[in-house]
Structure formats: structure tokens, C-alpha cells
Structure 1
Amino acid sequence: MNLPQALIRHRTLVIEGPDGISRSGLIAGLTHHGFLIQHLADRLHHVDPTRPHRELLASPGRVALDGSIIHELVYGPLRRGHSRVTWIQALDFAESVAERDGALIHLTAPGHVARPAPTDFAEAADAYARAMRTLAQHVPVVTLDTGDLGHPPRSSAPARCELGRNKQQLTVRW
């Protein structure tokens, strides 16, 4: 897998997207480029939900976090009617990622997922899109369509990067 330069130029990546989207190809590619992959449990710290994330962001080297407090920000309201993470905590987390030369990787899928998702996929995808638009004001966001992951570019040209309205949000498609 050839990862776009938009990903490997960062020192910190946070992989986010609706449940059911396969991350294995992306994670394998990031490992190949020297990223330490940390998969964070869905269980949040009972007093400070951002604590494990701050500890990981304090570690040296290249790190990619698979899952984070943004997952709770999206799925908390969908599953329980409220999130255990506040927007202030999420924005603080986004700024911490940006300070560590990082970006959020927003995974999208072309209308379907590889395995059944426990929550309505379309509803979760919309919630992620809204959250990423807000967080893009504090940290670079790279949107990756997983339908294209694992496939080589369709031409010999480098990956085409499309900038959205917000200069911090980048969409990568081959």
C-alpha cells in the first residue's frame, strides 16, 4: 500500500471513522512507515476520559492512535443519548494532537462497510463528518475513502489532494 504523503509527513495520527470500516490496511501501512500503533479500549477513564490519550501523546516517536475520545463524542449520543466526553475535552485533545505535529485521519466508506456495524452506519458517518468539520478548526483533518485503500493509484500520477473550504481539512482520493 502506498500511503499518501499527507499521512506520513505527520508525527502523530489519530485514526477515526464509523464502526465497521476496516482499518487493517491503513494500520499495516503506517507500521511500515515507523508508526507505533496504539489501539485504545472503548472504556474511558472514569475520572478523566482524556488521560490515556494525553499519556500516549507525551511519548516520543511516531504514534498512531486507533480510536480516541472522538469515538465517544460521536457514539455516546447515538448509543446512550449523551457523551461522556465534552466538546471542550475534544477540542483540547485536537489541539494536543496538532501541537505534536499531528492530524486526524477521518475514514469514510463508499456506502457500505465490511462487517455489520452496531449502530446505523449512515447516522454515525454523518455525526463523524460534523465532528471532523468542527475539529478541523483546531487540527489538520485528512479524509481517506477506504474504498481506495489497498488499491494502487489508478494512474501513475501522485495522489490527488482536494482541499475543502477549511484549509485544514484535506481529502485524499486516488
Structure 2
Amino acid sequence: MILHQALTRCRTLVVEGPDGLDRRPLLAELARRHFMIRPLHAHLHHVDPTQPYRELLSAPGRLAVDGGLVHELVYGPLRRGRSRVTWIQALDFAEAVAEREGALVHLTGGTDDTEAVRAYERVLRTLAQHVPVITLDAGEPARAAHDPARAIGQLSLDIRLLPLT
């Protein structure tokens, strides 16, 4: 599957990936394709970390969310020894994205944090049982920042839909 096919099939995209990857070129392309962009890197709600996501997912139209929930599942255990998001909440979130004709977009490449990369792979392999996961090789972040159009073209060549198992 190439990027433009994913964009025509999905009404909701949640962009996730390890720290250090430049999401700006992809988010700019999504905005150009009439996705409403909503960043959610703010602090998660202490009682219900999925609340802001549920509110966003209830809005009409095409939506692209700049991650946060999967990020917490990955970095919470790596940095604090535990995640503030439970697996039940994460799976409910994944199903809500899928019901909204959506997918998780997993950005890869350009990071040396192998522990986080492996954690993202484990988390997204689990979530892929409930929502499509599209993996994009973002390549070198500096190249993407200096030439967004070329970076988006490269992303379209490297996209694949992970199997739902």
C-alpha cells in the first residue's frame, strides 16, 4: 500500500513513533490533504488518560492525531517503570480508532534508541490485532526537515500495512 491509498481509505490517523523522529513533514502532508491535525503531547489526564482521545474521536471529519497514548505505553515503563495507560484503555482506544475508519501510523528510522524501537514494535504488534497499523520509514530526520516534499515522496514508497493477526 502506498501513502495516497492509505489516505483515501482512512478517516483517522494517529501518528506514533520514537522520540527524535521529525513528524512535521508527514503532518504537513496530512493537513494539505484536509486532515484536521491535533497534537496531543500534553500531559495525560491523571484519572482517565484516554479522555482527550475519546473527545477528539467523536468529532466529525478527517482527523490526524500527533500521538501520545502509544508513546506512554512505550516510554512510561522505560522512564518510570510503569505506564499510566492500561492495556484495556489502549485496546479500547485502538478499537475506537478502527471504528472511525482509522489506523495507527508508526514512524520508524532515524533513531538510535533501540530499546524504544523494540518497545514500539511490541506495543504496535499487540494493537494491530484491533486496528490497522501503517509503518512508515521516516528515514533521516534532518533530510525530512529540509525537504518535506521529497521526504513525503519517500514515505509513500516505504509504507506497508501490518497484518492483523
1:3–1:29 Cα contact (<8 Å) kept = no
Distance 1:6 1:95 in 2: 18
**Is residue 2:5 matched to residue 1:5?**
yes
Change (3 A) 1:99 1:123: same
**Is residue 2:122 matched to residue 1:142?**
no
Distance 1:66 1:21 in 2: 12
Higher relative contact order (CA 8 A, sep 6+): 2
1:53–1:68 Cα contact (<8 Å) kept = no
Unmatched segments (≥5 aa) in structure 1: 114-119, 170-174
- How far apart are residue 160 of structure 1 and its match? 6.9
Distance 1:160 1:89 in 2: 30
Corresponding residue number in structure 1 for 2:89: 89
What pairs with 1:6-45 in structure 2 (closer than 5 Å)?
6-45=6-45
2:133–2:161 Cα contact (<8 Å) kept = no
Distance 2:29 2:87 in 1: 31
Corresponding residue number in structure 2 for 1:117: none
TM-score w.r.t. the length of structure 2 is: 0.85
4+ residue segments displaced more than 3 Å: 158-164
Q: Counting helix residues as a fraction of each chain, which structure ranks higher?
A: 2
Change (3 A) 1:161 1:74: closer
2:134–2:160 Cα contact (<8 Å) kept = no
Unmatched segments (≥5 aa) in structure 2: none
Change (3 A) 1:159 1:57: same
Distance 1:58 1:87 in 2: 21
- How far apart are residue 34 of structure 1 and its match? 0.3
Change (3 A) 1:163 1:30: closer
Distance 2:87 2:62 in 1: 26
Give the residue type in structure 2 aligned to 1:30.
L
SS at match of 1:138: coil
User: How large is the RMSD of aligned CA atoms in angstroms?
Assistant: 2.3
